[in-house]
Structure 1
């Protein structure tokens, strides 16, 4: 700061605006330090924790661990960086950014077998024996979908009771043993299987005390988002890294981005006030809405809708019950129902019947009266296939901008490329109406 002078950040910001049209608040992203501490070969790490790959050591906050991360941690050490500002530079999770982290990241780049650390779905720092290339217990259908998408099916040795309801979609897992309920698994069965890892989601729903229950077992409990908070991409790329399936994760991310970027182009730079208002409800409990954290909420926003339950109820709730009076008063442009899992066994006729039954109770809404009343199967609303659900909704919200898009083509590509199923999605149906 002494060398650059007071107001440097403001002057740099104005220069970016004048020369490049970039309204970029550099004060939030730069770390001013004595100039002779760093040189042109250094990689200055970005502040914060905005990254998809939530593995400590990902110091440059991109999608992999490589030599740039080593350089970024080296720079962080020179800068006297703190864990508070640069959490991903504390690769060994000892509470300090120092030379030990430099060596730790070098070992990560060399793919050394060691315990590494990551932020799990609940925002907690957890450990895992890297790499996870051995046996896996996978619970809940969205976790199984993530596992298969990344090419990990052969490592799965057990599932949960609920997953047996999916013979059409998960035929390869039907003969595996069960650990019981995905919510409260049998610890005895889990330990008897002696798996290397147990994959599940948030403690709010799944096996909340499992880490404690398994005692001194070496089994890793890996909690990554496969639907929660709309953070599927992060869960996929992090799981891909932990299991050394980075290429499969990259292929999936590229597939998802190809769809999401198309939606973003359709939305453009519309302000929230110019977006169609939308309400997402549970088809099984029609007055129950999906809130922030549910995945459905986030994906309706990604599709370019302004979800009207943004400020309703507690932030800790995924679901909130509404009244018909409230819905009629708000009168959203679109109402989208989330149809609970039908295990890929419904067709369009089943979905139409469900939608027709819902119309009886919502006949007074403008959305129903004017044909902006839809139903979307949970199979594509959340989970690894969620970009399909986003595209369905975006096509409803922005029909002119996406007039030439055939969503079924993208869904067929997903089934063919990542699922290995012999399924014609148009003939099968049951996804969205």
Structure 2
């Protein structure tokens, strides 16, 4: 793979922002007072001070290294913008071009920890996405209108979230092919790491295609992934807006969790429409995006017997009865597909979600969690970039005396308003959480 043109970590913002949840404190007119907060979020060479931006402070840092005559590679690992092994005026020139959006060669560290060279800014006039998470990433980056190739999980199952008139070709599941990439004349592909062979085959036929590989199993990298992509595409404003949103949610979570005496013991399961016909239940363990994200607010059940490929485990129904109240207190059900069904050209309604949830939880009716109102219903979205939008409401369900229901709704509404193309009222459109009245133990617990 000659010069893999991949992507993976953070944003360049030429305009200096002062925001409550920014990764660094910026003082534009007081250079001496400025101190970068090293985050490691933007592994783009030229991000000399290793913060969340490529801006004039990186120029200052490069000039300081040049004036000093020595370069501490441990402290400033991304200072060598042109990757020639030294720090000089040529690196300053590259960073100035990045800041101003001028064409240049750009180097970054991808999800495989390889140094990748791309032509900056990366062309993205015809975009292909390998699955619904990658479609979500394209949307929050503000480039959805450029997507011409997408999975049917986007064009059908998630069609209510997008205007799909721009999609020229689609494919089932995540089965994107080299032939479709070439047929759609894609110049940019956002794909999971598992699709690298398929994408590379297309690149071998057309070197103008640039790939960006995304690992959605690691929720801790979501902000870094977005910010890095923002730099590569020169779409920094959108990327930073998402980072600020996530940092704001995490700040509220952190502040609230300081008031929680003990994290709730939880198990995170997937619930399919035909769950009653299944012998086993799928449990999300540490290593999945969902378990790791929910781990910010709960002690998530983990097991050494989980799959080494997807970090999930299959358990028999009796396992819940035996372990509920000892290994975990809460059962969190992620119900697949509940926010994607259209009814009379609208969204899956809350009443539809409630009905499905009430039917599903009878599967767990003999557990202590059921009797205590500690079975929680939520949507299947935590394994992707939009998961943070749901986290505050889930925190409310776990700790109603600490977190606010309204803050939960507001976070979800903010995400849909600012980072999707769907304009909806999340309280009336979509199956996000259980809001019914039939599960009395659930409502009684929240009302206490």
TM over 0.5: yes
| Deviation, structure 1 residue 421 | 2.7
What's 1:70 paired with? 59
- Give the counterpart of 1:257 among 247, 252, 256: 247
Q: Report the secondary structure of 1:159's partner residue.
A: strand
What's 1:23 paired with? none
| Deviation, structure 1 residue 404 | 5.7
Q: Report the secondary structure of 1:405's partner residue.
A: helix
Rate the CA distance shift 1:373–1:42 in 2: closer, same or farther, 3 A.
closer
- Give the counterpart of 2:191 among 172, 189, 200: 200
CA distance in 2 between counterparts of 1:262 and 1:126 reads 36
- Give the counterpart of 2:138 among 139, 147, 166: 147
Q: Is the 8 A contact 1:76 1:89 kept in 2?
A: no
Q: Is the 8 A contact 1:277 1:306 kept in 2?
A: yes
| Deviation, structure 1 residue 409 | 2.9
Superposition pairs for residues 215-234 of structure 1, below 5 Å? 215=204, 216-225=206-215, 228-234=218-224
Rate the CA distance shift 1:364–1:342 in 2: closer, same or farther, 3 A.
closer
Rate the CA distance shift 1:81–1:422 in 2: closer, same or farther, 3 A.
closer
CA distance in 1 between counterparts of 2:41 and 2:190 reads 18
What's 1:365 paired with? 367
- Give the counterpart of 2:329 among 329, 333, 354: 333
Deviations 1:189-244 (A, max 9, x none): 2123322211122x23x354422442052210112355644422222222222222
| Deviation, structure 1 residue 41 | 6.9
- 277-286 or 180-189, which moves further after superposition? 180-189
Superposition pairs for residues 49-68 of structure 1, below 5 Å? 50-68=39-57
Rate the CA distance shift 1:125–1:353 in 2: closer, same or farther, 3 A.
farther
Q: Is the 8 A contact 2:270 2:336 kept in 1?
A: yes
Q: Report the secondary structure of 2:401's partner residue.
A: coil
Q: Is the 8 A contact 2:50 2:76 kept in 1?
A: no
Q: Is the 8 A contact 1:43 1:72 kept in 2?
A: no
Rate the CA distance shift 1:354–1:179 in 2: closer, same or farther, 3 A.
closer
| Deviation, structure 1 residue 290 | 1.4
Which runs of no fewer than 5 residues in structure 1 stay unpaired? 1-39
| Deviation, structure 1 residue 377 | 0.9
What's 1:277 paired with? 265
Q: Is the 8 A contact 1:117 1:128 kept in 2?
A: yes
CA distance in 1 between counterparts of 2:171 and 2:133 reads 17
1:238 aligns with 2:238: no
Which runs of no fewer than 5 residues in structure 2 stay unpaired? 1-30, 342-347, 435-448
Deviations 1:316-375 (A, max 9, x none): 533222345554334412111112234532323333343334323323332222011012
Rate the CA distance shift 1:142–1:361 in 2: closer, same or farther, 3 A.
same
- 175-184 or 244-253, which moves further after superposition? 175-184
Q: Is the 8 A contact 1:121 1:228 kept in 2?
A: no
CA distance in 2 between counterparts of 1:258 and 1:93 reads 35
- Give the counterpart of 1:191 among 182, 188, 206: 182
Superposition pairs for residues 19-168 of structure 1, below 5 Å? 50-75=39-64, 78-82=69-73, 86-93=76-83, 96-99=85-88, 101-133=91-123, 134-166=125-157, 168=159
CA distance in 2 between counterparts of 1:412 and 1:290 reads 26
What's 2:289 paired with? 295
1:399 aligns with 2:387: no
Q: Is the 8 A contact 1:377 1:432 kept in 2?
A: yes
Superposition pairs for residues 339-418 of structure 1, below 5 Å? 339-342=335-338, 344-345=340-341, 346-379=348-381, 381-403=382-404, 405-418=406-419
Q: Is the 8 A contact 1:139 1:163 kept in 2?
A: no
User: Structure 2-normalised TM-score?
Assistant: 0.75
- 318-327 or 333-342, which moves further after superposition? 318-327
User: Structure 1-normalised TM-score?
Assistant: 0.77
